[in-house]
Amino acid sequence: MTEVLARRDEALSADEIAALLRDRFAEGIVDAAVEFETFTVTVTTPVWADVARMCRDESALAFDMFDCLFGVDAREEGFDVVAVIYSTSTGNRLALRARCDGGRDAPSCPSITDVYRGADWMERETWDMFGIDFPGHPGLEPRLLTVENFEGFPLRKDFHLTARVAKPWPGVKEPVELDEDGNVIERVTGIGDAPGPYDLDKALAEQAKAVNAPVGAVTEDASADDDASEADDASDDAEGTETDDATVEPADSDGPSAQEKAEARRREQAEARRRKAEERAASEEPDGDGEGDA
């Protein structure tokens, strides 16, 4: 603990750390391997706190920074507790993992709050979420993250979400599907092989296309109903505007439905947009910001 700050060149390799711990604890070290890109030492619960203390105090290890602590639900095998510690001098990171005593019914793991004071709230959180007891902790109650009278441990795999019981999942796809044993079914979905968001997107795109029909086509339809003299105006932009406005008004006076009204409004807005664009093109001014969004 009194070493100079940076001594990265003295950092022990994973194998050296494992050998050092095995030397001292022998049977207490169950396994040492790289898991999820972190060197993980699996230990038994009786030596859990002692391993942590050695990691902190041994000058070659000097894991002086406590990073985090959390639980893992191992289903019928019970629960694991994982603590991640870090050495600010050597730059090593180490995960300690222990299978709790007591199986699923009363999982417990010794507290390491007297080694790392920062483990206090992490252990309380793990108690909140998994119901793992930490003998030696100054006080796990009251609940830290949930309401104080909360029943159950929400991060356990067998915890039921009451909202899900009252109301089925409203989405088009179930985010997680379970088989009979409660295991997650891994499924690689291709685009379009189930009625999913992609199909919804397609349907929405069709709808939008129908609603925002090209202005030219609308004008053509309208002018076909009008006098034949105006039929050739469909190609002309400026004249087309006039025809379009003229067709909107009679539709209004006929007692239009809400849909027709919306259609007319949309057409008017499209016209306004186009007129604005034309004006801008005519004046040849370099566009500022914001204007183009209108």
Partner 1 sequence: MGVMDQVELPKPIKYVFNWGRKYSLWCFNFGLACCAIEFIAASTSRHDFIRHGVIPFAHGPRQADLLVVSGTLTDKMAPAVKRLYEEMPEPKYVISFGSCSNCGGPYWDSYSVTKGVDQVIPVDVYVPGCPPRPEALLDGIIALQDRIQHESLKERMAGRRLDPITLGADAPLALEG
Question: Is the preceding omega at residue 110 within 30 degrees of 0, hence cis?
Answer: no
Query: By C-beta, is 204 or 224 nearer to partner 1?
Result: 204
Which residues, numbered 207-236, are part of the site for partner 1 (CB under 8 A)? 207-208, 211-212
Q: Decide: is 161 part of the binding site for partner 1 (CB under 8 A).
A: yes
Specify the stretch interacting with partner 1 by CB under 8 A; choose among 9-17, 89-97, 155-163, 239-247: 155-163
Minimum CB separation of residue 274 from partner 1 in Å reads 13
Q: Report residue 12 as tokens.
A: 């022990």
Closer residue to partner 1 (CB): 65 or 213: 213
Interface with partner 1 (CB under 8 A), residue from 269, 272, 275, 277 = 269
By CB under 8 A, is residue 159 in contact with partner 1? yes
Cβ(115)–Cβ(61) under 8 Å?
no
Binding mask 238-267 for partner 1 (x = CB under 8 A): ------------------------x---x-
Q: Is 294 in the site for partner 1 (CB under 8 A)?
A: no
Beta bridge partners of 29: 43
SS (H, E, C) 131-152: CCECCCCCCCCCCCCCCCCCCC
Dihedral sign computed on CA atoms, order 131, 136, 142, 145: negative
CB of 20 to partner 1, least distance (A): 42
- Is 154 a residue that touches partner 1 (CB under 8 A)? yes
Nearer to partner 1, 191 or 210 (CB): 210
Q: Which helix (H) or strand (E) holds 70?
A: strand 65-73
Structure tokens at 115: 């080694």
What is the Cα–Cα distance from 89 to 61, expressed in whole angstroms? Answer: 9
For residue 76, what are its two tokens? 């019928």
Interaction residues for partner 1, span 165-194 (CB under 8 A)? 167, 169
Q: Does residue 277 bind partner 1 (CB under 8 A)?
A: no
Residue 4 engages partner 1 in binding (rule: CB under 8 A) = no
Q: Encode 247-265 in three state secondary structure.
A: HHHHHHHCCCCHHHHHHHH
Half-sphere CA count of 33, side-chain side, radius 13 A: 4
Residues interacting with partner 1, by CB under 8 A?
145-147, 150, 154, 159, 161-164, 167, 169, 207-208, 211-212, 262, 266, 269
